[in-house]
Amino acid sequence: MSELQDLSALVRSNTPLIVIETPDEARVVDLFRHVLMNVWRALYRWSITEGMRRVDLDREDAPETAPDLSAALHAIREHDQRGIYLLLDAVPYLGYASTRRMLREILERRASLEHTLVLVGNAVELPAELEPLAVRFSLRLPDEPALLKMVKDEAALYMRENGGRRVEIDPAVLPAIVRNLSGLSLTEARRIARHLIYRDGALGPHDLPELTRLKFELLNKSGLLHFEYETAHFTDVAGLARLKQWIDQRREVFTGAELPPGLDAPKGVLLLGVQGCGKSLAAKAVAGGFGVPLVRLDFGTLYNKFHGETEKNLREALASAEQVAPCVLWIDELEKGLASSDASEDGGVSRRVLGYFLTWMSERTAKVFVVATANAVQELPPELLRKGRFDEIFFVDLPGPAARGEIFRLHLEKRRVEWGAFSLNALSEASAGFSGAEIEQAIVSALFAAHAEKRPLDEALLTHELASTRPLSVLMAEQVEALRDWARTRTVSAD
C-alpha cells in the first residue's frame, strides 16, 4: 500500500491518536489534505502561535481558538462533526497532568465524537497512559522520481529569479546527484539542491563531493560518525597487490545501480596486521578505489554508562551510515570495541553490542562496505572471524624489499625531496624489518637533522637515521613473529 492509502486506512478506522515524528510539518498538512479525498473529515491545524484553524481542502479559516492547547482541546471535545486535528506544538505540554487527562478523555471518546488527533514533532515521547491509544506513523522518504522533480523545480525557480538564466545541468551527472539525495526528506534534499544550484548556477561533477559532505552533516546528528574528507588512492599505497586486485574486481558491482544476476553486494574486509604497516591508509584507499565517501566509526565513542544507551548509539551510527550509502565504513582497531570479555565485567553490554553488530552485518541491504582494521587478533571474538561475516580477511605484513623502496619514493615525493640521487634499493636493504610508518618517521627525523645542519637531505643522513632506529619487529620480535605465524595459514596475504 502507498503512504496515502496507509494513512487513509488509519483515519477510516477511527484511530484516536496518530504520532508522526518529522520536522516537515508542511508535508504532513499536505498529506492529510490528500487523505480527505479518500475519507471525509474536517481538518484542523493547531499551533502555539495561531491557535486552531480549519485547513481542509483549499479552505483556511480564521483561528477558532486562542493559541492555548487547553482551549483547543475543549473545542475539540465540543465539536459536533468528526475531525482530524493536527497538533503541531503539543509535545511540550504533555508533561502537564491536566493536558494528559483532557487528551485521554478525547481519545477514549468520553463525551466526544470519534475524532483523530495527530501529534507532530521532531521527537514525540508519549506518557505511558497515552501510548496504548497511539499508532506511530513514519513518513516515507521521497523516491528518485520525486527527487528528480524537486531538482528540476529548483532549477526552474533559479531561472525565474535570475532573469531567465538557465541552470547548466550535466545530464550524465544528474542521475548521480538524484541518487545521492536518497535517504533525505524532501525538505532536506531541497535545501541541498538549492545550495548546489545557487552557488554557481550549475550542476556537474564538482557538486558530488559537496553534496556528500552536506548530506553527511544532515544525517550525522548524533556525531557518532566522522566524515573523512581526504581519502586516498591505491597509487598512494605501496604493495598490497592482492588487496588492490580484489577491490578492483568488485568496484563495478558495488557502485552499479543494479546487482548483476547471481551476485551479492560486497560486504567488507577485515585487515589484520602488524602495527604501522598501512592498514588505515589501505582503508582510505578502498574508499578512493570505489569512488565513494568514507565514514569512520570509533567504537570508543559509543559506550555510555547508562543502560541501553550504548546499543542505541550503535544503532544510530549504523543507520546514519546506511543513509550515506553507497559508502565505506571504516572501523579502526576493531578489537578495542568488540574484544572478547566476560559479560559480567560490563553487565553484558559488549555482548549485546557484538550481537547487534553481527546481525547488522548479516542482514543489511544498503551498500555499506565495511573495512575493519585490527592489530591484536587474539582479542577479537571468534564469532566475528567466522567465514561470511567479512568477504575476506587480509593480512597486511611488514613490507617486502620492493614495497619498502616504493614507500621511500612516495614519502620523499610527498615532502618534495628530489630522490633521483638516492639508491632506493640500498635504502630498502637498510630498512629490513621496518614498517611503512617507521620508514616515514625515519625520513622525518633525517629531514630535521638536515635542517639543523643547514644541508639538504641526502642518502647518508637517511641511512644513519635508519641505523639508529629499532623497529617494532625487533623491539617486540616474539609478538610480531607469533602474529605472522598465526596469519600465515589463516588469512589471505594482502601483498
Contact 226, 298 (CB under 8 A): yes
Structural domain spans, the chain: 3-136, 144-219, 253-395, 401-475
Listed in sequence order, the residues at least 6 apart from 18 whose beta carbon sits closer than 8 Å to its beta carbon are 7, 10, 116, 117, 118, 119, 134, 135, 136, 137
- Cβ neighbours of 190 (radius 10 Å): 18
Q: Which of 156, 91, 162, 75 is nearest to 127 (CA)?
A: 91
Using CA atoms, how far apart are residues 279 and 358, in angstroms rounded to an integer? 22
Just give the CATH number of 253-395: 3.40.50.300
Q: 76-97, pLDDT tens digit by residue?
A: 988 888 999 999 999 999 989 9
Using CA atoms, how far apart are residues 51 and 87, in angstroms rounded to an integer? 10
pLDDT at 483 over 70: yes
Contact 128, 10 (CB under 8 A): no
pLDDT at 343 over 50: no
Model confidence at 58, in pLDDT bands (50, 70, 90)? low
Q: Which of 138-142, 221-225, 247-251, 364-368 is predicted least confidently?
A: 221-225
- Cβ neighbours of 321 (radius 10 Å): 25
Query: What does the pLDDT average to over 341-362?
Result: 73
Model confidence at 157, in pLDDT bands (50, 70, 90)? very high
pTM for the full predicted model: 0.71
pLDDT at 155 over 90: yes
pLDDT at 267 over 70: yes
Provide the percentage of residues in the chain whose pLDDT is more than 90: 33
Q: 270-321, pLDDT tens digit by residue?
A: 999 888 888 888 888 888 888 888 888 887 777 766 666 778 888 888 888 8
Using CA atoms, how far apart are residues 124 and 262, in angstroms rounded to an integer? 43
Just give the CATH number of 401-475: 1.10.8.60
The reply to whether 401-475 shares the fold of 253-395 is no
Q: 209-257, pLDDT tens digit by residue?
A: 888 888 888 877 667 788 887 677 777 788 888 998 999 999 888 888 7
Name which residue leads in pLDDT, 382 or 202.
202
Q: Which of 485, 480, 392 is nearest to 435 (CA)?
A: 480
Just give the CATH number of 3-136: 3.40.50.300
Extract the C-alpha cell encoding 128.
Answer: 505511558
